[in-house]
A and B are shown apart, each in its own frame.
Chain A
C-alpha cells in the first residue's frame, strides 16, 4: 500500500510541477556607463534593421575581433523595443522613435564616446542628438540617417509634385500608398505646419490636442484615397511595379530597388521638408557580450563600413570621412546620398522620435505614443 501512495504522490507532484509556470531566468541588469573595452567574448547578438549586418562588413569584423555576429532583424521600431526587453540581445540599431523608450525603460547602458575613435569625425548634429543623449549622457552612438521621401511614377504623375499635399488631394484617388505606421501622423502634422500655419505646429512629434486632431482628421480623409497602407518595403515595391499605386510616401531604399528594376519612378523631398530616421547603436543593460558590442560600434563607425552600409541601404553616413570612400566604391554616391550635404539639409529633416506628454515647453499637454497608436487604428478602420 505504501508504494501505491508514493506512486500517487509522484503523480500529483508531477502535475504540480507542470502547473508551475516556468519562471524566466532574468539576467542581472547593469546601468553603469561603459568606459573601457575588455577582452572580447567571442559572440555578439544583435537586433538590426534588415541590411545593417551584411557579410561584406560582418565577416572582416569577426576576423578582426573573434566576435561571431548573430543578427536578428527587427521589422519595426516597436518590435525592436519588444525584442530588447527580452534581455537576450547585446545591442540594437534603434531609430529615434525607439531610442528614448529604451533609455527611459532603463534597457540600455550609457557609453563614453571616447571609446569610439571615429566619433570625432561625425557630423556635429549627430554627436549628441536629443534622441540618444539625455542630460549630456550618451546612451549610444549614431550610425546613419535618411529622409522619408515622396515616391512617384514619372509616367502617371504629372506635373512633377512639389508638396506633400498631393497625397491628400483627390487627384490620385485610389493610387496612393503610405506606410502602415502610427509615426505617419507626424507626416500629416509636418504638412499642416506649412499648409495651416494657424495651428501653430512647431514640432510634428509634439502635438497638442487641437493640432493632433487636425492631423488625424487629415489622415482620416486621406483613407478613401489610399490603395494600400504598406507594411514592408517589398509591399510598396510591388504596388509600384504592378501599377496599383503611382504615388506614395517611401524610403530611398524602395526608389533604388525600383529604379534598378527599370521602373519609371523618382523620389524627392517636397517643399515642406520631410520626416526621417536617425539610427543609433545602443548596448543592452543586460548584455552578455558588452566588449564585443563596443568593438562592433567602433567597427561600424569607421569610414569604410559607413560607406559600404550607406550605399547598400541608400542612406547617409554619420561619419564625414565616408564620403571619399563612397565615391571610390560607386562614383557619385556621396552626393546621391547627401553625405556631403550642408547642415541645412540635415536641419530640414524632422527625425523620428517617441511622442511623449512632455512638449518640451514645460507643459505636458501633448499626445503620447499610446494616443498615436489608438488614433492610427482609428484612421485605418
Chain B
C-alpha cells in the first residue's frame, strides 16, 4: 500500500468512525436508521396509496369524457349506500366470505388435528407436501381445472352419469364459487390450525384425563379453546382473500362481487376511479372490524 492511497482513505475512515460513535451515543438514531427503510416502504407504498385511495373516493368523473373532477363530493358514498344493487353485491361478497371461512374451518380442523397429533413424522411430512403442493401451481390453472370439472360435459357429470346418479348444473353458479373458493383457500386455514394444535403440550391433555374428563370433554374444553386463535388466524386469510377476489367470480361464477365492481370501474366501462375507490373502502372497513374482533380472540398470538 503506498502513501497516497493511505491518505485518500483516511477521511473516509474517520467519517465512518465518527458515524459509528454517533450511532453508539444516540440509540434513537440507530433505531431510526434501522427502521427507516422498511417504514419508508410501508408509508410510501402502502399507507400513502391508501390515503390517495381514500381521498380520491370523494372525487367524481365527467360522465362523457370520463376525466377526473377534483371537487369534494359525497356522491359516490351516497350511491353505494342508497343503491340496493351495491348493497346486495357487498352483502353477497361478505356472505360468501363467511360461508367459505366456515367450510374451510370445518374441513381443515380434522385434517390439521391428524397432522399435528396423530400422524407420525413421515406421514406428517407427506401431508405437509400434499397441503402445499397446490400452491406451487398457478392459481388460474387451478380455477380453470375446476371449470373443467364442473362443466356441463365435465368430469363430475361424467362420473355421476356412469354411477347412474342425476347430473348437476353447478357450472357458473354460486355453488361453484363456494366450492372453488373453499378449495383454493384451504391450505391457508390448515397451516395456522396445525401450528396452534401442535403447540398444545401433551401434559395438558394428560391433566385433563387425570381429572376425569373423557375424550370428548377434553376435546371440547381443552383442545378447541387452545386451537381457537389458530382457527381465527386462518379465518383472517380465508375471509379476506375471498372478500378481495374478483378472478374466481368472473371465471366460475355469473354474478358480481365487490372486486368485480371495482375492477370494472378501474379498467373498463367509464374508468370511474373515484367510485372504485369509494367501493374499495367497504372491504377495508369490513376487514378492519374483523381484525379487531380477531385480535380480541387472540389470533395474533398464534401467527
Interface set of A (CB-CB < 8 Å, partner B): 3-4, 7-8, 11, 14-15, 18-19, 21, 75-76, 78-79, 81-82, 85, 101, 104-106, 174, 182, 226-229, 231, 238, 242-244, 354, 356-357, 368-370, 373-374, 376-378, 380-381
Interface status of B216 (Cβ within 8 A of chain A):
no
Report chain B residues within 8 Å CB of A378: 83, 85
The CA of A378 and the CA of B264, in the complex, are separated in Å by: 13
Interface residues in B69-115 (C-beta closer than 8 Å to A): 79, 83, 85-86, 88-89, 92
| Contact across chains for A81 and B271 when beta carbons are under 8 A apart | yes
| Contact across chains for A7 and B152 when beta carbons are under 8 A apart | no
Contact A228-B267, Cβ < 8 Å, known A7-B22, A11-B36: no
Rounded to whole Å, the gap between the CB of A293 and the closest CB of chain B is 22
**7 more CB-based (< 8 A) A-B contacts, given A101-B65, A369-B270:** A78-B267, A105-B67, A227-B254, A231-B250, A368-B63, A369-B63, A381-B256
| Contact across chains for A381 and B152 when beta carbons are under 8 A apart | no
Q: Which of B40-48, B187-195, B221-229 contacts A (4 or more CB under 8 A)?
A: B40-48
| Contact across chains for A79 and B267 when beta carbons are under 8 A apart | yes
| Contact across chains for A4 and B22 when beta carbons are under 8 A apart | yes
The CA of A78 and the CA of B263, in the complex, are separated in Å by: 12
Interface status of B289 (Cβ within 8 A of chain A):
no
The CA of A50 and the CA of B172, in the complex, are separated in Å by: 26
The CA of A226 and the CA of B255, in the complex, are separated in Å by: 11
| Contact across chains for B65 and A104 when beta carbons are under 8 A apart | yes
Rounded to whole Å, the gap between the CB of B279 and the closest CB of chain A is 11
**Interchain CB contact (< 8 A) of B22 among A3, A19, A81, A376:** A3
| Contact across chains for B63 and A228 when beta carbons are under 8 A apart | no
The CA of A215 and the CA of B171, in the complex, are separated in Å by: 27
The CA of A380 and the CA of B254, in the complex, are separated in Å by: 8
Report chain B residues within 8 Å CB of A377: 85-86, 89, 256, 261, 264
Rounded to whole Å, the gap between the CB of A46 and the closest CB of chain B is 18
| Contact across chains for A227 and B171 when beta carbons are under 8 A apart | yes
Interface residues in B1-32 (C-beta closer than 8 Å to A): 15, 18-19, 22, 26, 29, 32
Interface status of B288 (Cβ within 8 A of chain A):
no
**Interchain CB contact (< 8 A) of A380 among B19, B63, B171, B255:** B255
Rounded to whole Å, the gap between the CB of A159 and the closest CB of chain B is 23
The list of the 8 closest CB pairs from A to B, nearest first, reads A105-B65, A244-B152, A370-B63, A78-B268, A378-B85, A373-B269, A228-B172, A243-B152
The CA of A79 and the CA of B36, in the complex, are separated in Å by: 38
Contact A11-B32, Cβ < 8 Å, known A18-B44, A78-B269: yes
Q: Which A residue's beta carbon lies closest to that of B265?
A: A373
| Contact across chains for A15 and B172 when beta carbons are under 8 A apart | no
Q: Which B residue's beta carbon lies closest to that of A377?
A: B85
The CA of A357 and the CA of B67, in the complex, are separated in Å by: 17
Interface status of B154 (Cβ within 8 A of chain A):
yes
Q: Which B residue's beta carbon lies closest to that of A235?
A: B251
The CA of A332 and the CA of B29, in the complex, are separated in Å by: 80
The CA of A8 and the CA of B79, in the complex, are separated in Å by: 48
Interface status of B272 (Cβ within 8 A of chain A):
yes
Q: List 7 A-B contacts (CB under 8 A).
A: A18-B43, A78-B268, A82-B267, A105-B67, A229-B254, A380-B254, A381-B256
Contact A76-B268, Cβ < 8 Å, known A15-B36, A18-B44, A381-B256: yes
The contact string, 1 if C-beta is below 8 Å from chain A, for chain B 258-284, is 000100100111111000000000000
Interface status of B120 (Cβ within 8 A of chain A):
no
* Residue among B32, B36, B269 with most chain A CB within 10 A: B269
The CA of A85 and the CA of B67, in the complex, are separated in Å by: 9
Interface status of B202 (Cβ within 8 A of chain A):
no
Q: Which A residue's beta carbon lies closest to that of B40?
A: A18
Report chain A residues within 8 Å CB of B63: 357, 368-370
Contact A7-B85, Cβ < 8 Å, known A101-B66, A227-B172, A381-B256: no
| Contact across chains for A19 and B256 when beta carbons are under 8 A apart | no
Report chain B residues within 8 Å CB of A82: 267, 271
Interface status of B64 (Cβ within 8 A of chain A):
yes
Contact A81-B66, Cβ < 8 Å, known A226-B254, A381-B255: yes
| Contact across chains for A228 and B64 when beta carbons are under 8 A apart | no
| Contact across chains for A381 and B85 when beta carbons are under 8 A apart | yes
The contact string, 1 if C-beta is below 8 Å from chain A, for chain B 175-218, is 00000000000000000000000000000000000000000000
| Contact across chains for B270 and A380 when beta carbons are under 8 A apart | no
Report chain A residues within 8 Å CB of B40: 14-15, 18
| Contact across chains for A228 and B254 when beta carbons are under 8 A apart | yes
Contact A368-B64, Cβ < 8 Å, known A82-B267, A243-B153: yes
Report chain B residues within 8 Å CB of A374: 79, 83, 85
| Contact across chains for B66 and A105 when beta carbons are under 8 A apart | yes
Interface status of B33 (Cβ within 8 A of chain A):
yes
Report chain A residues within 8 Å CB of B92: 381
Rounded to whole Å, the gap between the CB of B251 and the closest CB of chain A is 9
Report chain A residues within 8 Å CB of B172: 227-228, 244
The CA of A70 and the CA of B169, in the complex, are separated in Å by: 44
